[in-house]
């Protein structure tokens, strides 16, 4: 409740208090607590971080698996990195090999950073891909950490058939390289809908941008990019 008062918008706080005052505890649990607990803890943790202090929040088996986006190769790579950092049992006089939460978070953040930074090396489109993904991720970060919280986080972008071909090429490449994931409905068979659709940021990038690896609401890609002049974007400079 302290975090609700501290970090949520007036509308969200009023809604939460009204549910409690009316003894609608199940509704409060489903509509507020379940949706906001992780967001509030994340926002509070980042707000309290000082200097080069290390986070603990990106740790645990579920978090590690989720941040691999059900990608077996990505999961194996991350497991190898984690195993390589396990301290020697005899040397450190440990009964079991344990990686601290801070160490797990450090590794996951390093892994997340490497995934994004490697996109810059892709031939021709790399700089544009990196810039657009950085803009998207920073927009989502700002929504959580620099504004009052609503019940959802922004985790996806939405594009329509009117999207310029230059931008669509970036979206296609982002999906191909595992930086964006198309929101495919269960009754659809296409892997990549043509232009119109919703695409969530890959969970592997969440530690880098300090997001929660979960589905949220979406915002139009063109509205996210609207504050940038064309000459500021590499996608125009490189074509």
pLDDT in tens, 15-51: 999 998 888 889 999 889 999 999 999 999 999 988 7
Question: What's the pLDDT score for residue 89?
Answer: 63
Question: What's the pLDDT score for residue 239?
Answer: 46
Residue 215 contacts residue 200 (beta carbons within 8 Å): yes
Among 64, 106, 223, 107, which residue's Cα sits nearest to residue 154?
223
Question: What's the pLDDT score for residue 213?
Answer: 94
pLDDT in tens, 123-132: 888 999 999 9
Mean pLDDT, rounded, for 195-221? 93
* Adjacent-strand bridge partners of 218: 156
* Adjacent-strand bridge partners of 182: 199
Question: What's the pLDDT score for residue 123?
Answer: 84
Alpha helical stretches, state H, 85-197: 101-118, 126-145, 165-176
User: At 194, is the pLDDT very low, low, confident or very high (cuts 50, 70, 90)?
Assistant: confident
Among 143, 35, 117, which residue's Cα sits nearest to residue 157?
143
Question: What's the pLDDT score for residue 99?
Answer: 86
Question: What's the pLDDT score for residue 96?
Answer: 64
Question: What's the pLDDT score for residue 237?
Answer: 58
User: At 122, is the pLDDT very low, low, confident or very high (cuts 50, 70, 90)?
Assistant: confident
63, 117, 136, 175, 197 from 172: Cα distances, Å:
27, 18, 15, 5, 12
- 80 vs 194 pLDDT, higher one: 80
* Adjacent-strand bridge partners of 200: 156, 181
4, 48, 151 from 8: Cα distances, Å:
5, 16, 8
User: In the chain, what are the helix, strand and coil shares in percent, each to the nearest 5?
Assistant: 55, 10, 35
User: At 52, is the pLDDT very low, low, confident or very high (cuts 50, 70, 90)?
Assistant: confident
Q: What are phi and psi of 24, to 5 degrees?
A: -95, 65
pTM: 0.88
Mean pLDDT, rounded, for 102-108? 94
Among 200, 67, 223, 211, which residue's Cα sits nearest to residue 153?
211
pLDDT in tens, 149-162: 998 899 999 999 99
Kind plus residue range of the DSSP H or E element containing 7: helix 2-7
pLDDT in tens, 66-95: 999 989 999 999 999 998 888 776 666 666
**Chain centroid to CA 53:** 21
Mean pLDDT, rounded, for 187-192? 53
The residue behind tokens 């549910």 is: 19
- Average model confidence (pLDDT) across the chain: 88
């Amino acid at each position: 409740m302290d975090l609700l008062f501290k970090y949520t918008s007036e509308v969200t706080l009023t809604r939460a208090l009204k549910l409690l005052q009316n003894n609608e505890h199940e509704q409060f649990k489903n509509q507020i607590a379940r949706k906001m607990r992780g967001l509030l803890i994340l926002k509070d943790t980042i707000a309290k971080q000082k200097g080069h202090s290390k986070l603990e929040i990106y740790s645990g088996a579920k978090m590690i698996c989720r941040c691999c986006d059900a990608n077996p190769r990505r999961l194996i790579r991350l497991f190898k990195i984690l195993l390589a950092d396990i301290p020697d049992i005899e040397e450190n006089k440990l009964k079991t090999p344990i990686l601290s939460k801070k160490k797990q978070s450090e590794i996951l953040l390093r892994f997340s950073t490497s995934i994004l930074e490697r996109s810059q090396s892709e031939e021709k489109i790399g700089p544009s891909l990196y810039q657009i993904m950085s803009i998207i991720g920073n927009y989502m970060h700002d929504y959580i950490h620099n504004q009052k919280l609503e019940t959802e986080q922004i985790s996806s972008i939405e594009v329509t058939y009117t999207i310029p071909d230059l931008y669509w090429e970036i979206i296609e490449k982002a999906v191909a390289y595992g930086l964006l994931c198309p929101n495919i409905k269960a009754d659809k068979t296409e892997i990549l809908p043509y232009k119109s659709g919703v695409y969530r940021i890959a969970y592997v990038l969440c530690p880098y941008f300090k997001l929660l690896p979960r589905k949220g609401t979406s915002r139009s890609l063109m509205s996210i990019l609207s504050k940038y002049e064309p000459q500021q974007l590499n996608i125009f400079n490189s074509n």
